[in-house]
């Protein structure tokens, strides 16, 4: 088993065959016929075959050594089984806290070209959150913090509390990745794809890059986030099949 506490640590591959098998509680990932366990001791059994296959694909892709850092879906599975299933309230709180500082609610006052891009990209998503999810977020201009309406927060908590552990884990990770619970929910519901979510989350950053150039370190971090966003898109899709 890989070491979840040290994602950069390599462990020698100890299995040859990877498969997915149905069980009473779902679909299990199997390594040479045995079901691996999470760091917390839970069997890696997933609610859908598609999700189990997504995780199994990461195990198949490992070479002579297993690199946990290269297995984002497996790590998310561990989170869902070890953390979210055991401390659900904390997981809901972790995702909900992004509502008070959701990046899509903070519009610039200048320049006009940036404001126009924000309106074009963020406006429809705020409308979607209101119309499809019943979440009426208030906009702010500038960086001064603005509290969201109590009814919006109450509704958001209700949505998050209704999610199963595997969906809630992914929404929480997505909210942190994008700095926006709106983008996390939109990705979950298929309103946007991973590329669109990243474009919305990085709109201000990309605008500055066009004016001042691309920072290599920032670009590397953005690339890593984009990879994780794609995994989240596939995770949500797999949960629905």
Domain ranges of the chain: 10-71, 88-239
Q: What pLDDT does residue 6 have?
A: 62
**Token match 């999700």: residue?**
51
H runs (alpha helix) in the chain: 49-61, 72-78, 88-96, 112-133, 150-161, 165-178, 181-188, 194-201, 203-212, 216-239
Q: Which CATH number fits domain 88-239: 3.10.110.10, 3.30.1050.10, 1.10.3580.10, 1.10.287.90?
A: 1.10.3580.10
Confidence tier at 8 by pLDDT (50, 70, 90): low
Q: Has residue 35 got a pLDDT over 50?
A: yes
Report the share of the chain in percent with pLDDT over 70: 96
Q: What pLDDT does residue 2 have?
A: 40
Q: How far apart are CA 54 and CA 231, in angstroms?
A: 9
pTM higher than 0.85: yes
Contact criterion met (CB below 8 Å) for 232 and 177: yes
Residue 67, SS3? Answer: strand
Q: What is the DSSP string of 79-119?
A: IIIIIITT-HHHHHHHHHGGGGG-GGGEE-SS-HHHHHHHH
Q: What pLDDT does residue 215 have?
A: 84
Q: What pLDDT does residue 1 have?
A: 38
Q: How far apart are CA 38 and CA 216, in angstroms?
A: 35
Confidence tier at 193 by pLDDT (50, 70, 90): very high
Look over the chain and give the mean of its residue pLDDT values, rounded to a whole number.
93
Q: How many other CB atoms are found less than 10 A from the CB of residue 124?
A: 14
Q: How far apart are CA 141 and CA 204, in angstroms?
A: 14
Please list, in sequence order, all residues whose beta carbon lies within 8 angstroms of the beta carbon of residue 39, skipping any fewer than 6 positions away: 1, 4, 5, 78, 82
* Strands laid side by side in the 26-31 sheet: 18-23, 26-31, 45-46
CATH of domain 10-71: 3.30.2180.10
Q: Is the peptide bond before 227 cis (omega within 30 degrees of 0)?
A: no
Measured in Å, how far apart are the chain's first and last C-alpha atoms? 28
Contact criterion met (CB below 8 Å) for 63 and 85: no
The DSSP code for 138 is P
Q: What pLDDT does residue 109 have?
A: 93
Q: Has residue 210 got a pLDDT over 60?
A: yes
Here the tokens at position 183 are 């983008």
Confidence tier at 5 by pLDDT (50, 70, 90): low
Q: Has residue 4 got a pLDDT over 70?
A: no
Instruction: Summarize the confidence of residues 172-189 as an average pLDDT.
Output: 97
């Amino acid at each position: 088993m890989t070491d979840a506490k040290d994602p950069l640590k390599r462990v020698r591959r100890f299995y040859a065959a990877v498969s997915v098998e149905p069980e009473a509680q779902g679909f299990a990932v199997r390594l040479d016929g045995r079901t691996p366990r999470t760091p917390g001791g839970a069997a890696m059994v997933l609610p859908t075959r598609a999700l189990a296959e997504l995780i199994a694909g990461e195990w198949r892709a490992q070479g002579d050594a297993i690199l946990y850092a290269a297995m984002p879906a497996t790590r998310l599975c561990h989170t869902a089984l070890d953390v979210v299933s055991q401390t659900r309230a904390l997981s809901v709180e972790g995702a909900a806290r992004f509502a008070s500082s959701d990046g899509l609610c903070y519009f610039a006052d200048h320049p006009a070209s940036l404001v126009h891009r924000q309106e074009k990209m963020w406006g429809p998503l705020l409308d979607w959150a209101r119309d499809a999810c019943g979440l009426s977020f208030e906009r702010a201009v500038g960086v001064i913090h603005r509290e969201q309406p109590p009814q919006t927060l109450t509704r958001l908590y209700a949505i998050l509390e209704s999610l199963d552990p595997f969906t809630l884990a992914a929404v929480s990770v997505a909210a942190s990745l994008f700095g926006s619970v709106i983008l996390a929910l939109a990705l979950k519901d298929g309103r946007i794809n991973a590329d669109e979510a990243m474009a919305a989350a990085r709109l201000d950053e990309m605008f500055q890059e066009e004016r001042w150039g691309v920072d290599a370190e920032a670009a590397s971090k953005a690339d890593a986030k984009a990879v994780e966003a794609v995994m989240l898109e596939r995770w949500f899709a797999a949960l629905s099949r």
